[in-house]
A = this chain, B = another copy of it.
Amino acid sequence: MSIQQQVTDVATRARSAARVLALATRAEKDAALTAIADALTTHGALILAANAADVQRAEADGTGAGIVDRLTLDSSRIGAMTDGLRALVALPDPVGEVVRGDTLANGLELRQLRVPFGVVGMIYEARPNVTVDAAGICLKSGNAVLLRGSSSARSSNEALVDVIRGAVEVFGLPADVVQLVPGDSHESVKALMRARGLVDVLVPRGGAGLIRSVVEESTVPVIETGVGNCHVYVDRAADLEMAVDIIVNSKTQRTSVCNAAESVLVHADVADELLPRLVDALQAAGVTIHGDAAFAAYDGVVAATDDDWATEYLDLDIAAAVVPDLGAAIEHITRWSTGHTEAIVTADLAAARRFAAEVDAAAVLVNASTRFTDGGEFGFGAEIGISTQKLHARGPMGLTEMTSTKYVVTGDGHVR
């Protein structure tokens, strides 16, 4: 059977399973999530053995230490997965929420209700925890999920999905609400992207290349996630100590994530006072600064090129420039931003308001680290990714963002 046909088959099974799951009550879904968490704990040894095979293969292939680390599971990482599932149990069920309701002038009762999408496709890279997170979030929001992880995590993902399916089935829901997409090649990703009508939405999570290719090739609607070329702009009216703290935190608290800062812009009026302190603090934290002429006057600062303004380093590097004013900062951000998170440090209310209004991004932060753009930090309790597109969801996506709506209109023989 061709990969195309195999993917169509799993998608068709997901569709049937989704119809059953869509009708499950919150109590049923929560019990299934608890059963999955218990099963992952019970079968920890089996999962770690499968993961060890992936890690061994990755090391034999000469994979970088960072990627091997992200791939590696241990009992504490399995514990984090099961904690995540139990946290989902505590969250309200988005399905059935009445979003809008009215009795129309003619007496028709109009209700707009949240309903699951149906079938969600996830395409993602190395971390096996995404397998469990995605399965949990999709299950709680009533969606069947098709998981296409990376081939490097294949054994881990197979073991995790086996355990999850077993728990779901014992519990009485169809195992096919959680399935791996067959095939390791790009062909299977392609088949998933072309399964319009069977798959309702695709969520790619990973590097810019992966996301771009899904956006370009998919006929299934896509929620674009994650590429973050995030800026911190220090306004003339900023508290400079606060500015240094926010920049260092935004850049270094965790570097490999999409909400880390990648560029800093400084108002010319405070450059003389701020730059020496900022350069010191960043360099002390191990950050390489790729600066414009004003920054490059400092020791150890590398001269920036246009490429630097566009780069999501995801590492201890930051681009830095002095701008003549707030308007120029907004222009720079408009040109180079990926629309993820942009921050301003200022004590000036008018500047904060203008920045928040004119900067076009999923999140605008005022006097706070870019690292706060996160479903957990926002209080959503769970996050399937951070959308950088404007359609459907923008910013951190929790359970609510994994639903669609349906109108139910009730009359007593109404005709037009």
Contact = CB atoms under 8 A, between A and B. Distances in A.
Interface of A: 19, 22-23, 102, 104-105, 108, 110, 112, 115, 117-118, 196, 200-201, 215-216, 219, 221-223, 239, 242, 245-246, 249-250, 253, 334, 352, 356-358, 360-369, 371-373, 377-379, 389-392, 394-395, 404-416
A281 to B, nearest CB: 12
Contacts of A358: 19, 23
How many copies of this chain does one complex carry? 2
Contacts of A253: 415-416
User: Which of A110, A221, A405 neighbours the largest number of chain B CB atoms within 10 Å of its CB?
Assistant: A221
A23 B357 CA distance: 7
Contacts of A250: 415
Contacts of A112: 395
User: Which of A23, A358, A378, A405 neighbours the largest number of chain B CB atoms within 10 Å of its CB?
Assistant: A378
A414 B362 contact: no
A379 to B, nearest CB: 6
Given A352-B410, A363-B409, A391 B404 contact: yes
A414 B372 contact: yes
Nearest to A245: B415
A342 to B, nearest CB: 10
Contacts of A411: 365-368, 372
A251 to B, nearest CB: 11
Contact of A416 (B371, B390, B409): B371
A363 B108 CA distance: 13
Contacts of A372: 108, 409, 411, 414, 416
Contact of A108 (B368, B404, B405): B368
A413 B368 contact: yes
A124 B358 CA distance: 31
Given A196-B215, A367-B413, 19 more contacts: A19-B358, A104-B377, A108-B372, A108-B377, A201-B390, A201-B391, A242-B412, A249-B415, A360-B406, A363-B408, A364-B406, A364-B409, A365-B409, A369-B416, A391-B391, A394-B405, A394-B407, A395-B406, A395-B407
